[in-house]
């Protein structure tokens, strides 16, 4: 993934999603198979002084979405990406900076995803994400399925 694509996506997220700007999120790390978003605690705090559950859910979802979007853009694909369904688990409070790291689910692969996209103009993929607590243990987890739909396929179906 080129840094240009990563920086462009971060700017796009902050410009197009007001919540992301209010959360002060940024892309912290990325590779072909992982992506991490970071957000400070202060704008994402709840009444107890720890991370707000809605901020955790948003950061985890955006981390997964951004991983899929970056991989598609790196491959030169012009797609809309949607979260189809997800399961969120709050396991422990987060008392500091929030770092959400996403990766493909264990039994998923990019090859199958791109094969489906090539054949049908639509691909589905399961992605997992996690926020760790101050002890390095999972505090919040997300399992989600995302759908990528080629823009040309969407417009021709209308």
| Total structural domains within the chain | 1
- Among residues 89, 80, 72, the alpha carbon closest in space to that of 137 is found at 89
pLDDT by residue (tens digit) across 52-69? 999 999 999 999 999 999
CATH code where residue 40 lies: 3.10.129.10
Give the mean model confidence (pLDDT) for residues 105-123. Answer: 96
Check residue 2 and give its pLDDT: 72
What is the pTM (predicted TM-score) of this model? 0.93
Grouping H, G, I as helix, E, B as strand and the rest as coil, residue 139 is strand
Query: Coil, helix or strand for 103?
Result: strand
The pLDDT score that the predictor gives to residue 20 is 96
Average pLDDT over residues 121-148: 97
pLDDT at 154: 53
List, in order, residues 6 or more apart from 129 with CB less than 8 Å away.
60, 61, 63, 64, 100, 101, 102, 103, 141, 142, 144
Residues of the domain holding 47: 3-157
């Amino acid at each position: 993934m080129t840094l240009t694509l990563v920086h462009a996506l971060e700017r796009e997220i902050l410009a197009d999603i007001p919540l992301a700007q209010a959360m002060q999120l940024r892309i912290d790390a990325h590779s072909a198979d992982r992506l991490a978003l970071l957000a400070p605690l202060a704008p994402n705090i709840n009444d107890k002084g720890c991370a707000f559950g809605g901020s955790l859910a948003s950061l985890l979802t955006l981390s997964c979405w951004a991983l899929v979007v970056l991989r598609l853009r790196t491959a030169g694909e012009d797609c809309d990406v949607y979260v189809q369904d997800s399961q969120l688990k709050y396991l422990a409070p987060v008392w500091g900076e929030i770092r959400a790291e996403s990766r493909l689910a264990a039994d998923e692969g990019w090859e199958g995803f791109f094969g489906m996209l090539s054949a049908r103009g639509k691909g589905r993929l399961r992605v997992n994400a996690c926020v760790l607590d101050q002890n390095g243990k999972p505090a919040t987890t997300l399992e989600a399925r995302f759908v990528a739909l080629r823009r040309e396929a969407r417009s021709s179906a209308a």
